[in-house]
Copies of this chain bind each other. A is one copy, B any other.
Amino acid sequence: MVEDARDKAPETDQDEDAYALDRKAVAQILYAVDIEDRDRLIALMDPLHAADIADLLEQINAFDRMRLIRLYGKEFDGDILSELDESIREEVIGILNPEVLADAVRELDSDDVVDLLEDLDEPQKAAILEVLEDSDRVAVQKSLTYPEFSAGRLMQREVVMAPEHWNVGETIDYLRNSDDLPDQFYHVIMVDPKLRPVGNVTLGKLMGSRREVLLRSLIEDTFHVIPVTRDEGEVAYAFNQYHLISAPVVDENERLVGVITIDDAMAVLDDEHEEDILRLAGVDEESSLSDRVIETTKRRFPWLAVNLVTAVLASLVISRFEEAITQVVALAVLMPIVASMGGNAGTQSLTVAVRALATKDLTTSNLWRVIRREVLVGVINGLAFALVMGVIGVLWFGSPALGGVIAAAMVINLVVAGLAGIVIPVMLEKVGVDPALASGAFVTTVTDVVGFFAFLGLAVIVLL
């Protein structure tokens, strides 16, 4: 009934926010909820993609969410659940009436059900498993036996395969005569008599080749077989590095058990990046905007607690120089500058190092070269800022000695920052700790402690 702005926008707008939910659409939907006009609500929601509906549910408050879901009733479909942020998902499952939930879940592919179940509490999990049809339940339970975050959880179990000796004609006839091809598939996987995958042929190549051509002669150059237990982050890396579109998954006997497609790999890549960004900032990687205050507080607390310890350590260093500060109060004024510059330079190095480790660009082959580079960069930027700070020290406090002290401390701290920024993440990675998670705390501790100690220590030697 309504000429919907959202539906058209993505196809014609050229502005930056072509895909953001627009405020007017949200207001119209909430109005329909207010006046409890179910037909209007359905008409407004109909053109929206499940992912957009999920975003909408995440953006409105809990009370509106409950009313909207109740009014929307049976229209609620499984894809919306799949798209919802975890923290909201449990709440929504609690609101849905059991029949609607059962229908919604039955619509989903088994890999999406697995994804849904992973994050739920046991009672909710059991309730959902119960409503599945028997064959689906078996498939889902089988997937859940694979380790979390493994290829086994990510894969679809429906595969399209052909014996390696077939030709194009046989393969096309087979495909044309099967009843239950998956809706989305991109390759025919060639298998040997033991069901081990030996090559991929794209549907495009199949379509474009004569009937008598052997499948074998059409296989893709890039063919990667993924063990079912491989970590999903590694899977995403392989898709991105080798431009894979789909890849067969094999069990411990190298038999084909499923297939992973690029859209799933893309979602994992997106999650892993998000996790890295949040971890680098000291935020729990599962944080999201729809978390409540108490959850958010809890997620932020640990990193702040770690930071408090490092800050107190730095203060202990300062306290050893109380006498010097009482005599030359300018030291108290200038000391945070040295520490802050070191912290920033360290963060720069460690971010580059963490990314390079994640993309496997930093290896034992180039580690020494990279360390040397970081130290040199520290020296050069250290000298540049030493000059600036030296001049500021002299102009502000009229003391060339003080200028010299801050300049020397700056060089020392920037070199240490470059070194710590690269060595700490590499060491953490070696001992199996995610460098994105922990490097920041260590590097800042080093730059704070070294910064204060170098500046105040030199000051005692030179000025007093």
User: Interface range on chain A: under 10, 10 to 19, 20 to 34, or 35 or more?
Assistant: 35 or more
Q: How far is the CA of A12 from the CA of B348 in the complex (A)?
A: 36
Q: Is the CB of B14 within 8 A of A230?
A: yes
Interface of A is mostly: helix
Smallest CB separation, A204 vs chain B (Å): 5
Q: Which residue of B lies closest to A52 (CB)?
A: B241
Proximity string of chain A (159-194) to chain B, C-beta cutoff 8 Å, 1 when within and 0 when not: 010000000000010011011011111100000000
Instruction: Kindly list chain B residues whose C-beta atoms are within 8 Å of the C-beta of A369.
Output: 61
Instruction: Kindly list chain B residues whose C-beta atoms are within 8 Å of the C-beta of A267.
Output: 240, 243
Stretch from A31-39, A125-133, A360-368 forming part of the interface with B? A360-368
With A230-B14, A281-B280, A312-B337 as known contacts, state yes or no: A297 contacts B377, CB within 8 Å: yes
Smallest CB separation, A349 vs chain B (Å): 8
With A59-B366, A208-B181 as known contacts, state yes or no: A239 contacts B222, CB within 8 Å: no
List the number of copies, as a whole number.
Answer: 2
Q: Is the CB of A336 within 8 A of B315?
A: yes
Q: Is the CB of A319 within 8 A of B337?
A: no
A residues adjacent to B (C-beta < 8 A): 10-12, 14, 16-21, 23, 26, 49, 51-52, 55, 58-61, 160, 172, 175-176, 178-179, 181-186, 202-205, 207-208, 222, 224-225, 227, 229-231, 234, 237-243, 245, 262-263, 265-267, 269-270, 273-274, 276-278, 280-283, 287-290, 292-294, 296-297, 300-301, 303-305, 307-308, 310-312, 314-315, 318-319, 322, 325-326, 329-337, 339-341, 344-345, 347-348, 350-352, 355-356, 360-366, 369-370, 373, 376-377, 380-381, 384-385, 388-389, 392, 448, 452
Please tell me which one of the listed residues B19, B207, B280, B281 contacts residue A175 in the complex, with CB atoms under 8 A apart: B207
Q: How far is the CA of A59 from the CA of B308 in the complex (A)?
A: 38
Smallest CB separation, A306 vs chain B (Å): 9
Q: How far is the CA of A7 from the CA of B178 in the complex (A)?
A: 35
20 A-B pairs besides A17-B360, A181-B207, A276-B277 with CB distance below 8 A are A10-B224, A14-B230, A20-B363, A21-B363, A183-B204, A240-B266, A269-B269, A273-B273, A273-B274, A281-B351, A283-B351, A287-B352, A294-B380, A297-B377, A303-B344, A304-B345, A308-B337, A308-B389, A311-B336, A315-B333
Please tell me which one of the listed residues B203, B231, B262, B314 contacts residue A336 in the complex, with CB atoms under 8 A apart: B314
Instruction: Kindly list chain B residues whose C-beta atoms are within 8 Å of the C-beta of A230.
Output: 14, 18
Smallest CB separation, A414 vs chain B (Å): 8
Q: How far is the CA of A94 from the CA of B422 in the complex (A)?
A: 31
Q: Is the CB of A337 within 8 A of B362?
A: no
Instruction: Kindly list chain B residues whose C-beta atoms are within 8 Å of the C-beta of A243.
Output: 51, 263, 267
Q: Is the CB of A282 within 8 A of B329?
A: no
Q: Is the CB of A360 within 8 A of B304?
A: no
Q: How far is the CA of A186 from the CA of B23 in the complex (A)?
A: 35
Q: Is the CB of A203 within 8 A of B205?
A: no
With A273-B273, A336-B314, A351-B277 as known contacts, state yes or no: A300 contacts B345, CB within 8 Å: yes
Instruction: Kindly list chain B residues whose C-beta atoms are within 8 Å of the C-beta of A175.
Output: 207-208
